[in-house]
Amino acid sequence: MRIGQKIKSLAKEKNVSAIDLAKKLGRTKQNIYVIFRGQQKVSIELLEEISRILGVSPSYFWKENENGFISEGILKAHEEAQKEIVSLRKEIELYEKLIAEKDEKYQLLKKDYECIIKKMNADI
């Protein structure tokens, strides 16, 4: 659930209408509806004011996980970074295999070369 949706849900739970919230924040009810729909980012200052009005800590609007309270945006960025890491690891594994194959071919060619040199030296 996004922060705007959480604000709307908590306001409803606390029986605070969009009009009441707008008056207490010095904003229009239309602006509050925009926030509820997640069409406007909520600044830390505004979130603190909304939290005070609704009687909760600002961290109430963040997602709780094993690392504590983290905003949904940070969680999404983290998940995307994790996917990228997995992708890069696969790519690295592929390159390591290619390098190992090239090294194996090099070692075989090196042995062949050494055998040819030994044979040429023996013939001289």
Between the two ends of the chain, the Cα-to-Cα distance in Å is 83
- Whether pLDDT at 28 is above 90: yes
Domain ranges of the chain: 3-61, 78-124
- Whether pLDDT at 4 is above 70: yes
Reported pTM: 0.51
Q: What is the pLDDT of residue 110?
A: 92
Amino acid letter, residue 52: R
**Topology classification of domain 3-61:** 434 Repressor (Amino-terminal Domain) (1.10.260)
Mean pLDDT across 96-120: 91
Residue 114 CA to residue 120 CA, distance in Å, equals: 10
The DSSP secondary structure of 53-92, one letter per residue, reads HHTS-GGGGSEEETTEEE-HHHHHHHHHHHHHHHHHHHHH
Mean pLDDT across 37-65: 85
Q: What is the pLDDT of residue 49?
A: 94
Residue 39 CA to residue 3 CA, distance in Å, equals: 11
Q: What is the pLDDT of residue 72?
A: 64
Mean pLDDT across 27-49: 91
The tens digit of pLDDT for each residue in 71-94 reads 666 667 777 888 899 999 999 999
